[in-house]
Chain A
């Protein structure tokens, strides 16, 4: 792998610049996530933002500061409020109080109780509405037949009973709609709850009026049914969003292995408790936050802060879950577990895309408000017109118009679909890190893959428990160097390196390293010391490609030092599902390319076995970037998949970039999508889900537009009665939600026609010189 160091520093500088923009000068900034169950439409987001922004602040002595030290973002689909505020001026309790006053009781995202009670309230309301609907219909039934047997007095009695039950339903079950309408009214942003309440009030008022006049021309059963179907829709929606939200919180890259306690016993991760004393061996990952005990150790915190330098920790130092032990055992006292660890907090933050507000979602919110106003005007106009034509029908017609119009379908179409797509991707270990990553994902028509670490890996198939030797490496030595010493030297030098190749060279070593320098894209150099002989120096050693040392170009890594040279021939194997995934990707995308910095023969073999026609070997990072740029200047939307630091600048250039959780932090910083596991089948799955969600978004939007354009004029003409209108509105929003829920289904259109080759891993050895034949290739050598 060859990298121009200056390019990497340039990318590094860019990353640094981006991150420093976010850092505020004051130290006291705090982040908090609140869950607000009352959020159900985009205008709620607006109300919450204004409520928070208008809050009086503590210590407001420095009135010169105009902009308030608080940031708030509301995610409608996830019902979450993300806050960043200066703890000198605001407290979380203050913000929660302000939100509660605005009608939005909020809780911190890790609390579970309120959620439970909300679910129970919803369940009771739904039952009452459903049961009440049936009773109201039962009592209303005789009124529909109007046969001579039924004396008018009895009919009126039944109508009164129907009214009684319906008012119980409206009073209890429809409470949340009235609360919503009140909030919308306070914010002067009428939306769907306003329409719902208008139709409920208007229809009950009309029915009551005719009841008092002694007529049994009433709509009570329709009102109860309206409330029931709407509630069912709301509950379904919040249930789906809840599922999406929990899957987001489940995304924690922690393994399931048994943990070793200091006293030698084992414990499962689920049974881990505060105050336990754990031991993590070299190479293992810490599972909890805590304090180092007993003796010093060296750890890498790359997953937490991207810092690749090893850290020497003395007893008493803080450690965090996700850190990897590099040298010595790490004994630590558990102080925070699960959701309280720093790692979990980072994982929560990684729902970055959730936090960013899409311009299209805001457009949607404005549209819903405008739509509501237009509907109210139309209802008024039709009432006026009908009062001239047929005065007794005027109120009923305007009631139908208000009831049939459904801005909810419009407002729900986008956020619900997005939430479902996120949940689906999250469940398979795909994290979307940037706003509109999903939209961009659906546009992709060209895919560029890195080879090493993406399509192939070096981890051996089996490692015996006590012998950690990877079985796929051949070592050829020359000079006075022997194989054991060569392995020990490389093992010491590669310890802590995150390059995928390094995992194959992790031999246990008692040697120590001094002045270790990683030359990006070239190799590693260090001075080796023998710790068993009082730090006797073994001289200066370098690890790099053969061409670096002026040796014959071949498929190996060369170790060179005072005692001689050693060639390490690493046999890489394809990721298990690579062939399957490549087949599916070929069906999905017109263009597929393999960009690698590796040896031409190797790249050709891999490309051939995967059926990828375009491949490029021996590429420098800038050449990868140039290829991506060239494709994009042709109007293609390129998705780049890579994991190494040599991919970082190509990732930055691509329309959408994907990296792996095991990859380098630099690659993470550039990526829009993070894959938490190594499954390549996630790539075609991702594309399928994104395209499907885009399709469903469009379907939902078209459906709600068509529905409203068709039904409102019909209602204005008096063709649709209030009962039918109520059914239509409730069902249309239910349909939109159910359509979006299709995304959650596991099988997202796997074409059955795809040839599935045998699943065994294909080992590619340099000996098998079956170099690609037949298919056309363009090779940059």
Chain B
């Protein structure tokens, strides 16, 4: 039963870590726009440029080379 004296503090520590991790995640907007994150790898890198120049209808691809 003496093992309890080790295991219980460890479990309490793990609880604290888990709660801290979750609170951190909430505070850092990890639960905002859950759908968008899944789609982000599929989006073009050009997207931000297109959005910033909102007045022009057609976006010319930027030549990075």
Contact, CB under 8 Å: A123 / B54: no
Give the residues in chain A near B3, CB-CB below 8 Å.
none
Number of chain B interface residues as a range: 10 to 19
Known: A131-B19, A265-B55, A265-B56. A123 touches B31 (CB 8 A): yes
Q: For window 3-38 of chain B, which residues contact chain A by CB distance below 8 Å?
A: 4, 8, 11-12, 15, 18-19, 22-23, 26-27, 31
The CA-CA distance from A161 to B55 in the complex, in Å, is 62
Q: For window 83-141 of chain A, which residues contact chain B by CB distance below 8 Å?
A: 120, 123-124, 127-128, 131, 135, 138
Q: Which of A123, A161, A165, A267 contacts B26 (CB 8 A)?
A: A123
B12 to chain A, nearest CB (A): 8
Contact, CB under 8 Å: B19 / A120: no
Known: A135-B15, A154-B1. A127 touches B22 (CB 8 A): yes
Q: Which of B8, B18, B19, B54 contacts A161 (CB 8 A)?
A: B8
Q: Which of A120, A128, A267 contacts B55 (CB 8 A)?
A: A267
Contact, CB under 8 Å: A127 / B19: yes
The CA-CA distance from A123 to B4 in the complex, in Å, is 32
Contact, CB under 8 Å: A131 / B55: no
Does A266 make an interface contact (CB < 8 A)? yes
Give the residues in chain A near B26, CB-CB below 8 Å.
120, 123-124, 127
The CA-CA distance from A271 to B54 in the complex, in Å, is 6
Known: A127-B22, A154-B4, A273-B54. A120 touches B15 (CB 8 A): no
Give the residues in chain A near B55, CB-CB below 8 Å.
261, 265, 267, 271
Number of interface residues, chain A, beta carbon within 8 A: 19
A339 to chain B, nearest CB (A): 19
Contact with B along A260-284 (1 / 0, CB 8 A): 0100011100010100000000000
Give the residues in chain A near B27, CB-CB below 8 Å.
120
B16 to chain A, nearest CB (A): 10
Contact, CB under 8 Å: A267 / B8: no
Does B57 make an interface contact (CB < 8 A)? yes
The CA-CA distance from A580 to B14 in the complex, in Å, is 61
Main secondary structure of the interface of A (DSSP, over half): helix
Give the residues in chain B near A124, CB-CB below 8 Å.
22-23, 26
Known: A120-B26, A123-B26, A154-B1. A131 touches B57 (CB 8 A): no
Known: A124-B23, A265-B56, A266-B57. A131 touches B1 (CB 8 A): no
Known: A123-B31, A154-B1, A154-B4. A128 touches B19 (CB 8 A): yes
The CA-CA distance from A26 to B48 in the complex, in Å, is 50
A302 to chain B, nearest CB (A): 31
Give the residues in chain A near B4, CB-CB below 8 Å.
154
Give the residues in chain A near B11, CB-CB below 8 Å.
135, 138
The CA-CA distance from A127 to B18 in the complex, in Å, is 10
B50 to chain A, nearest CB (A): 10
- Chain B's closest residue to A263 (CB) is B55
- Chain B's closest residue to A150 (CB) is B1
Give the residues in chain B near A165, CB-CB below 8 Å.
15
Give the residues in chain B near A266, CB-CB below 8 Å.
57
- Chain A's closest residue to B15 (CB) is A135
Contact, CB under 8 Å: B54 / A267: yes
Give the residues in chain B near A161, CB-CB below 8 Å.
8, 12
Give the residues in chain B near A265, CB-CB below 8 Å.
55-57
Give the residues in chain B near A261, CB-CB below 8 Å.
55
The CA-CA distance from A128 to B18 in the complex, in Å, is 10
The CA-CA distance from A123 to B23 in the complex, in Å, is 9
The CA-CA distance from A287 to B61 in the complex, in Å, is 31
B41 to chain A, nearest CB (A): 24
A236 to chain B, nearest CB (A): 16
- Chain A's closest residue to B57 (CB) is A266
Give the residues in chain A near B1, CB-CB below 8 Å.
151, 154
The CA-CA distance from A124 to B23 in the complex, in Å, is 6
Give the residues in chain B near A258, CB-CB below 8 Å.
57
A262 to chain B, nearest CB (A): 12
The CA-CA distance from A161 to B4 in the complex, in Å, is 12
B61 to chain A, nearest CB (A): 19
The CA-CA distance from A273 to B11 in the complex, in Å, is 55
Give the residues in chain B near A127, CB-CB below 8 Å.
19, 22-23, 26
Contact with A along B34-61 (1 / 0, CB 8 A): 0000000000000000000011110000
Give the residues in chain B near A151, CB-CB below 8 Å.
1
Give the residues in chain A near B57, CB-CB below 8 Å.
258, 265-267
Give the residues in chain B near A128, CB-CB below 8 Å.
19
B38 to chain A, nearest CB (A): 19
The CA-CA distance from A128 to B15 in the complex, in Å, is 10
- Chain A's closest residue to B14 (CB) is A135
Give the residues in chain A near B31, CB-CB below 8 Å.
120, 123
Contact with B along A144-183 (1 / 0, CB 8 A): 0000000100100000010001000000000000000000
A338 to chain B, nearest CB (A): 15
B47 to chain A, nearest CB (A): 14
The CA-CA distance from A161 to B31 in the complex, in Å, is 31
The CA-CA distance from A138 to B4 in the complex, in Å, is 13
The CA-CA distance from A632 to B60 in the complex, in Å, is 66
A639 to chain B, nearest CB (A): 39
The CA-CA distance from A120 to B30 in the complex, in Å, is 11
Give the residues in chain A near B54, CB-CB below 8 Å.
267, 271, 273
The CA-CA distance from A271 to B56 in the complex, in Å, is 10
The CA-CA distance from A440 to B59 in the complex, in Å, is 53
- Chain A's closest residue to B27 (CB) is A120
The CA-CA distance from A750 to B31 in the complex, in Å, is 36
Give the residues in chain A near B18, CB-CB below 8 Å.
131
- Chain A's closest residue to B5 (CB) is A157
The CA-CA distance from A689 to B39 in the complex, in Å, is 34
The CA-CA distance from A267 to B26 in the complex, in Å, is 36
The CA-CA distance from A343 to B27 in the complex, in Å, is 36
The CA-CA distance from A40 to B5 in the complex, in Å, is 45
The CA-CA distance from A271 to B57 in the complex, in Å, is 10
- Chain B's closest residue to A151 (CB) is B1
Q: For window 649-685 of chain A, which residues contact chain B by CB distance below 8 Å?
A: none
A273 to chain B, nearest CB (A): 7
A259 to chain B, nearest CB (A): 11
Q: For window 326-350 of chain A, which residues contact chain B by CB distance below 8 Å?
A: none
B11 to chain A, nearest CB (A): 8
B33 to chain A, nearest CB (A): 11
- A135-B15, A265-B57 known, 13 other contacts, Cβ within 8 Å: A120-B27, A123-B26, A124-B22, A127-B23, A127-B26, A131-B15, A131-B18, A131-B22, A138-B11, A165-B15, A258-B57, A261-B55, A267-B54
A selection of 7 A-B contacts at a CB cut-off of 8 Å is A123-B31, A131-B15, A138-B11, A161-B8, A265-B55, A267-B57, A271-B54
For the complex of A and B, list the 5 residue pairs with the smallest distance between their C-beta atoms, beginning with the closest.
Answer: A271-B54, A127-B22, A120-B26, A266-B57, A123-B26
